[in-house]
Amino acid sequence: VTALVRDLQTGEPILAHRTSEAFRPASLVKIPTTGAFLALRGHDYRFHIPVMIRGQVDGETLHGDLVLKASADPSLGSHYIPNQKRLI
């Protein structure tokens, strides 16, 4: 486990635990990352995810695929984060 929490205003570390060690982030990393993102963008920010279908609809039944179109940038090089050093 590693953790680094910084003050968003000053950039100073509040908590640092094993921060110099390399690690592979687990899928749970998305929880604090999303929290930090929403702290910067505002609690009312809404993600837009297009929902599409591939197949035939018969009444209320889809015979095919429900497709959620999503994308990600694992480098955090996103235009949504104006100052990426505040997040990392």
51-65 pLDDT, tens per residue? 999 999 999 999 999
CA distance 6 to 12: 5
CA distance 47 to 37: 11
> To the nearest whole percent, how much of the chain has pLDDT over 90?
26
DSSP-derived secondary structure letter, 8 = T
Answering whether pTM is above 0.75, one says no
* Mean predicted confidence (pLDDT) in 15-42: 82
Residue 71 DSSP SS3: coil
CA distance 80 to 41: 8
Residue 74 DSSP SS3: coil
Give residue limits of the domains in the chain: 3-70
Q: What is the pLDDT of residue 1?
A: 77
> To the nearest whole percent, how much of the chain has pLDDT over 70?
76
